[in-house]
Amino acid sequence: MPHAAIFDIDGTLIDSVDLHALAWHEAFAHFGHEVSFEQARSQIGKGGDKLMPVFLSDAQLRDHGKQLESWRGTHFKANYLSMVRPFAAVPELLKKLREAGVKLAVASSAKKDELEVYLKIAAIADLLDVKVSSEDVEQSKPAPDVFKVALQKLEVSPDGAIVIGDSPYDAQAASKAGLRMIGLLSGAFSEQSLRDAGCVAVYPGPAGLLANLARSPLLV
């Protein structure tokens, strides 16, 4: 049984993937770039430092990349943050893990201020031992930085922890940090894409994981 569980949050604990995709789609359009909602959605799970280069040239990034990312953040908070909702059974899942003696962390590509709001929305802020945002690291997912920092703060080795996330980018980052990952279908990605990225198990969402917790890699 792992000593620690490291959770992603967007698409894993809260229902925010489509809202982030809309904000990115509209941010690119505001700066004159044609990036569809579907194209933006396929990249959710990455931080802006990894998402923007998929659609912008180096010259465009230098010229207005920071402005675009800042505009997206302001736009998301003003128009979509109030619409974010938690998935079912999230506090119950984390409480069960705490009762089993598992340390808990959240490691996210979100900015610190957004992450704090998400933790309140999910009603889990007081259940966590460690919180890591994109501002705590040099590179966001699929780079392994957020998970490595979480491991350091948890004071556990990679073989003593497991990641729970919803995207292949989570799984790629986990693998680079030497971690196994449980995939959830509550985000934007298919079971096959999660398994192809290396997930050791896949569940429909937090409630499905809770229902199967005793037989899951979290407690076995």
Structure tokens at 98: 């705490």
Q: Distance (Å, rounded) from C-alpha 28 to C-alpha 23?
A: 9
211 and 146, same domain (yes or no) = yes
In the predicted model, what is the mean pLDDT of residues 107-122? 93
10 and 21, same domain (yes or no) = no
121 and 164, same domain (yes or no) = yes
Mutual angle of helices 58-79 and 17-30, in 10-degree steps: 130
105 and 196, same domain (yes or no) = yes
53 and 101, same domain (yes or no) = no
Task: State pTM to two decimals.
Answer: 0.95
What share of residues in the chain are helix, strand, coil (percent, to 5)?
A: 50, 15, 35
When pLDDT is cut at 50, 70 and 90, the band that residue 188 belongs to is: confident
Question: What is the overall mean pLDDT for the chain?
Answer: 96
- CATH number of 25's domain: 1.10.150.240
109 and 155, same domain (yes or no) = yes
Query: pLDDT digit string (tens) for 57-91?
Result: 999 999 999 999 999 999 999 999 999 999 999 99
Which spans in the chain are helix H? 17-30, 37-41, 48-55, 58-79, 90-99, 112-121, 145-154, 168-176, 191-196, 206-211
